[in-house]
Structure 1
Amino acid sequence: MQLLPVNLAYFLEVARAGSVTEAAQGLNVAPSAVSRQIAKLESGLGVALFARHPRGMTPTEAGLRLLAHARRTEAESASLVEELRTGGGAAARSVTVACAEGFARRLVPLAVAALRRERPDVSFRVDVVPRQEATRRVVEGLADIAVTYAMGPQADVRVECAVVVPVTAVVPCGHELAGRERVGLAELCGYPLALASPGTSQRELFDIGVRLEGLSVRAALVCDALAPQYAFVRAGGGVALVGDLGDLDDTGLAHVRVDHPVFRQREAQVQTAAVRRPSWAATRCAELLAEALSRVPGV
């Protein structure tokens, strides 16, 4: 069943087929009917949507933008039709969230619990994965929602919420930095550091900041998991860097904000697929996650 307006459906078919004649064959209508709908659409928008060539038609820049919108609308319509036909069955009541480790500690479980209080029939799967893997799973349909860090524009996802999260230095309560509100990068690098692996977003930004400042740093510990880093700090091994999502483990520890503009390039994001309509349960879960993330103290 087709929920798209006729002119948008015809536009999509012409973009796919590359010509009015082939689009008409696919739609089982007269070529003149397709031409009229495209002409009405272009007239109404006031822009040319196709460049006409002897061997066919290709979308203009405006046409490509409309094409992306039409594809999203088509995918969402198909998802809605299926959901209506199945009565919002088991698939609509199951939500998969892919998230980076920091979000799995508190933010994601609290949103899951909140939705479960609203709708006990909804079930969840939470996969803790690297940041880029979380986005990939949403794009490929392996997860409904990603909660992850991102730097720069993200293709094929809809960003429901984005917040620049401060980076803090974690030190024992008796440490000389404890009680400070901020610490500069140069001063921080004078201490033994526990850092994430190269290639992670925080490490990438840290390495950029170090190069900008002309500093030389050798990590005392390289580890992506948070628990070993906290244990390292508690044992007096050095200082760790973590994102401040408002739920930091502070038992015997102090957190000092790292003051450097390079860390403002990274956002914590709630992402959904750009070309698929999420189920009602996934939509509500994304709303709760966005609300929770928006409450995180920003830079």
Structure 2
Amino acid sequence: MQLLPVGITYFLEVARTGTLTEAAQALTVAPSAISRQIGKLESGFGVPLFVRHARGMTLTDAGSRLLAHARRSEAEAAALVHELRAGPDVETRTITVACSEGFGRRIIPRAMAAFRRENPDVTFQLDVVSRQEATRRVVEGIADIAVTYTMGPQHNVRVECAVEVPVAGIVPIGHELAGRDRVGLAELCEYPLALGSTATSQRELFDIGVQLEGLTIHPVLVCDALAPLYEFVRCAGGVALVGDLGDLDVDGVAYVRLDHPVFRQREAQVQTMPGRRLPWSATQFTSKLVSLLTSPGSAG
């Protein structure tokens, strides 16, 4: 059920797709109908909302501000429809969480299980996506909460907490680095490396550190998924890097902290949509995630 005005609905789709044609296809209406509604909005506000180009439309500053408001309204409208359909038990709802893989491996599922022990009527949707996609889903109201790594200021989300997460090397059991408290970047690079792709924040910072140290690397395995990296290390194929979220335990590998200041540029964040009123259950779960990230020893 659509609660937003038609003009705002059309505006949101044009902002998402960037063209009248694609918006019209998604909404199954004529492009001229969308154009008229956008024109009415611009006339009513007295400012242009889009810059028209030969290949599409991009938001003006005013359009970006309207988009942020419209996304909040869209998310709250969807929540209201859910609550009305749920009947008297308005707190029975699904909390949607988007996260990057490191968080989805243990810390978030454990938090969900613990939360449901106290709130058995709450259900979850967990989407494990790239770090940028997790943030995008909160910005657009697709997810209630994002838990992801970031580098640099975040302007389109409300950051509920931000913590520096150390980086650890994982090595096979019995490896000569096993049992060490810390290892330097140059020493780690003496071994066959299994790394994420250059699209990942950890790899981006690793490459910066390598350049600063004047090192040359040739990864023997490049993979963004954690499970293959762990198995590769277990089978003595090389060493790999993971974020130390305080949930590291026996996995057939040993962990050693990687000591280099370059990794301090990356933060783990819990993100929500600015200005959006989350339902009580999502607010409480957000608080639980903040507690776990700021006191990672309690993740188990």
Same fold (TM over 0.5): yes
RMSD over equivalenced CA pairs, Å = 3.0
Alpha-carbon distance, 1:82 to partner: 4.5
Aligned counterpart, 1:165: 165
- For structure 1, list consecutive stretches of 5 or more residues without a partner in the other structure: 1-15, 20-58
**Contact 2:247 2:296 survives alignment (8 Å):** no
Q: Which amino acid aligns with 2:111?
A: A
In the superposition, the TM-score normalised over structure 2's length comes to: 0.70
In 2, distance between residues paired with 1:221 and 1:82?
Answer: 47
**Is 1:101–2:101 an aligned residue pair?**
yes
Secondary structure of the residue that 1:148 maps to in structure 2? strand
**Contact 1:156 1:275 survives alignment (8 Å):** no
Aligned counterpart, 1:263: 263
In 2, distance between residues paired with 1:118 and 1:135?
Answer: 28
> Compared with structure 1, are the counterparts of its residues 172 and 88 closer, same or farther at alpha carbon in structure 2 (3 Å cutoff)?
farther
Alpha-carbon distance, 1:280 to partner: 1.1
Secondary structure of the residue that 1:137 maps to in structure 2? helix
Q: Which amino acid aligns with 1:190?
A: E
Off by >6 Å, runs of 4+ in structure 1: none
In 2, distance between residues paired with 1:171 and 1:93?
Answer: 42
**Contact 1:92 1:280 survives alignment (8 Å):** no
**Contact 1:75 1:275 survives alignment (8 Å):** no
In our comparison, the structure showing a higher alpha carbon Rg is: 1
State the Cα deviation string for residues 212-243 of structure 1 (Å, max 9, x = none): 11111010110111111111111111101000
Identity of aligned residues (%): 64
Aligned counterpart, 1:207: 207
**Contact 1:172 1:236 survives alignment (8 Å):** yes
In 1, distance between residues paired with 2:296 and 2:162?
Answer: 10
> Compared with structure 1, are the counterparts of its residues 236 and 135 closer, same or farther at alpha carbon in structure 2 (3 Å cutoff)?
same
Aligned counterpart, 2:150: 150
Q: How many residues are aligned here?
A: 235
State the Cα deviation string for residues 183-231 of structure 1 (Å, max 9, x = none): 1111111110000011100000001111111111010110111111111
Aligned counterpart, 2:253: 253
In 2, distance between residues paired with 1:146 and 1:92?
Answer: 21
Aligned counterpart, 1:284: 284
Secondary structure of the residue that 1:258 maps to in structure 2? strand
In the superposition, the TM-score normalised over structure 1's length comes to: 0.71
Aligned counterpart, 1:49: none
Larger relative contact order (C-alpha < 8 A, sep ≥ 6)? 1
State the Cα deviation string for residues 121-165 of structure 1 (Å, max 9, x = none): 111100111111000001111100001101111121111111111
In 1, distance between residues paired with 2:92 and 2:147?
Answer: 20
